[in-house]
């Protein structure tokens, strides 16, 4: 068979596979009846009645279930990992910020995988340690701000890495209101998620996973692992308060932030923006995106075991409310958008509601309602939820809510 014939056959197979998938359900009347696994019942059937049993027995059980069935297992911190300060500017952004750029070499090897962490800290903090929002960016570091001091990174075009153009500076700044965050007393730390692993099927060979053979983990596991490695650095930065690092993410990176926060309790707060299926939304609702959609469209994101649950969500020993429960008792914010039905806003809300018993067990306030709020009317207790008017996105209004929530729970030192 010729090369062109092979391509045609592959395209035909993909089209047929897409056509064979049932259409997405956007009708609440068609949501099937489902029963959620109880986060407060041990695998042996015994109830969890106190914080000690949750912390020492049930939480580890749930974490292992997610590792075995959904996200996969990640390696520990590499002993040979190194940090190198690439640049330091104490008068960045017109004197409002201290800017650092730090290379994290994951293995310490000369040609090993690495990422560059861009850090802004409020200059007004002076000798005080600042709380920090940590996240991964969909665009290279130089695109999150027009700051000319940010090192130009690489971009991926059709599976090929190439140097970025100068004109791309600041092209992704809308998602990162850095000046607003700094003005509220918080720092920002971010890295381009492609530097941990490129986000396409086959991108694994260009990322961190080949350096750690023997682990069945997907790209989301790798990106979450990268966030923990960024946290390793932030613990060493004298300008950062390591006890007030907030991990957040949007869309697939919202899934990543949740999994990072579930595994790594050093993150003091977790924020999930429009994370949907495989993130905050309940899988058993089969509303919008499904497990099969995830595994067929993004086969590199999750562990191989997760594919067993295509069309079999009820067989999963977990659902996403249990992922949210793993973040308790730390503050957690879940957000949705009215036009983002693919991410199942109601499923995200109900997932947070179903995580509530764990927060209450640990002495924290849950949402204190099972009625979904009106658009643009946040609920904020020790957990928070909002439904923003608009499409799948993260914008300035979302950030205002996250900053308000952070000020309540992790305020900057004065």
Is 251 marked active-site? yes
Active-site residue, selected from the candidate residues 87, 171, 392, 409: 392
The pLDDT tens digits of the residues spanning 61-102 come to 999 999 999 999 999 999 999 999 999 999 999 999 999 999
The pLDDT tens digits of the residues spanning 132-144 come to 999 999 999 999 9
Q: What is the C-alpha to C-alpha distance for residues 164 and 152, in angstroms, rounded to an integer? A: 6
**Segments making up each domain of the chain, as ranges:** 65-409
Looking at the domain covering 65-409, what would its CATH class be? alpha beta
Q: What is the C-alpha to C-alpha distance for residues 43 and 322, in angstroms, rounded to an integer? A: 13
Phi, psi of 70 (to 5 degrees): -125, -70
Instruction: Judge contact between 388 and 376, C-beta under 8 A.
Output: yes
The pLDDT tens digits of the residues spanning 287-321 come to 999 999 999 999 999 999 999 999 999 999 999 99
Q: What tokens were used for 376?
A: 């643009």
Q: What tokens were used for 40?
A: 């407060």
The pLDDT tens digits of the residues spanning 218-235 come to 999 999 999 999 999 999
Active-site residue, selected from the candidate residues 251, 272, 275, 351: 251
Burial class (CB in 10 A: 0-12, 13-18, 19+), 166: exposed
Reduced to 3 DSSP states, what percent helix, strand and coil does the chain have, rounded to the nearest 5? 40, 20, 40
Q: pLDDT in tens for each of the 414 residues of the chain?
A: 443 443 444 445 444 444 456 799 999 999 999 999 999 999 999 999 999 999 999 999 999 999 999 999 999 999 999 999 999 999 999 999 999 999 999 999 999 999 999 999 999 998 899 999 999 999 999 999 999 999 999 988 888 899 999 999 999 999 999 999 999 999 999 999 999 999 999 999 999 999 999 999 999 999 999 999 999 999 999 999 999 999 999 999 999 999 999 999 999 999 999 999 999 999 999 999 999 999 999 999 999 999 999 999 999 999 999 999 999 999 999 999 999 999 999 999 999 999 999 999 999 999 999 999 999 999 999 999 999 999 999 999 999 999 999 999 999 988
Burial class (CB in 10 A: 0-12, 13-18, 19+), 392: middle
Instruction: Judge contact between 51 and 361, C-beta under 8 A.
Output: yes
Radius of gyration of the chain (CA): 21
Query: What letter does residue 373 receive in the DSSP assignment?
Result: P
Is 46 marked active-site? no
Longest CA span, the chain: 71
Instruction: Judge contact between 22 and 292, C-beta under 8 A.
Output: no
How long is the chain?
A: 414
* pTM summary value: 0.94
Q: What is the C-alpha to C-alpha distance for residues 138 and 135, in angstroms, rounded to an integer? A: 10
CA 374 to chain CA centroid, Å, is 25
- What pLDDT is attached to residue 6? 38
């Amino acid at each position: 068979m010729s090369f062109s014939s092979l391509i045609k056959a592959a395209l035909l197979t993909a089209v047929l596979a897409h056509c064979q998938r049932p259409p997405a359900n956007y009708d609440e009347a068609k949501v099937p009846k489902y029963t959620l696994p109880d986060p407060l019942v041990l695998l042996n059937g015994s109830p969890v009645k106190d914080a000690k049993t949750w912390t020492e027995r049930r939480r580890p059980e749930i974490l292992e279930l997610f590792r075995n069935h959904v996200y996969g297992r990640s390696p520990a911190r590499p002993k040979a990992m190194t940090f190198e300060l690439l640049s330091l500017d104490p008068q960045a952004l017109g004197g409002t910020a201290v800017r650092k750029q730090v290379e994290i070499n994951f293995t310490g090897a000369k040609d090993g995988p690495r990422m560059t962490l861009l850090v802004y800290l409020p200059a007004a903090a002076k000798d005080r340690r600042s709380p920090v929002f940590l996240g991964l960016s969909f665009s290279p570091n130089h695109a999150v701000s027009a700051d000319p001091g940010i090192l130009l990174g690489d971009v991926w075009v059709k599976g090929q890495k190439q140097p970025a153009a100068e004109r791309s500076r600041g092209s992704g700044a809308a998602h990162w209101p850095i000046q607003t965050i700094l003005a509220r007393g918080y720092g920002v730390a971010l890295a381009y998620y492609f530097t941990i692993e490129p986000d396409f099927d086959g991108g694994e060979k260009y990322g961190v996973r080949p350096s750690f053979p023997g682990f069945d983990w997907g790209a989301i596991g790798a990106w979450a692992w990268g966030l923990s490695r960024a946290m390793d650095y932030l613990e060493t930065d004298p300008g950062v308060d390591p006890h007030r690092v907030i991990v957040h993410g949007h869309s697939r990176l919202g899934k990543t932030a949740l999994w990072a926060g579930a595994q790594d309790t050093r993150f003091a707060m977790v924020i999930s923006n429009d994370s949907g299926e495989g993130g905050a939304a309940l899988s058993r609702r089969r509303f919008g995106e499904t497990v099969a959609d995830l595994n067929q469209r993004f086969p590199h994101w999750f562990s191989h075991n997760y594919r067993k649950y295509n069309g079999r969500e009820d067989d999963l020993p977990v659902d996403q409310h249990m992922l949210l429960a793993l973040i308790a008792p730390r503050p957690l914010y879940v957000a949705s958008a009215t036009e983002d039905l693919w991410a199942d806003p109601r499923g995200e809300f109900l997932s947070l509601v179903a995580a509530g018993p764990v927060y209450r067990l640990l002495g924290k306030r849950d949402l204190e309602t099972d009625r979904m709020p009106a658009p643009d009317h946040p609920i904020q207790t020790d957990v928070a939820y909002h439904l923003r008017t608009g499409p799948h996105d993260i914008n300035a209004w979302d950030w205002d809510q996250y900053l308000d929530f952070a000020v309540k729970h992790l305020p900057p030192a004065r």
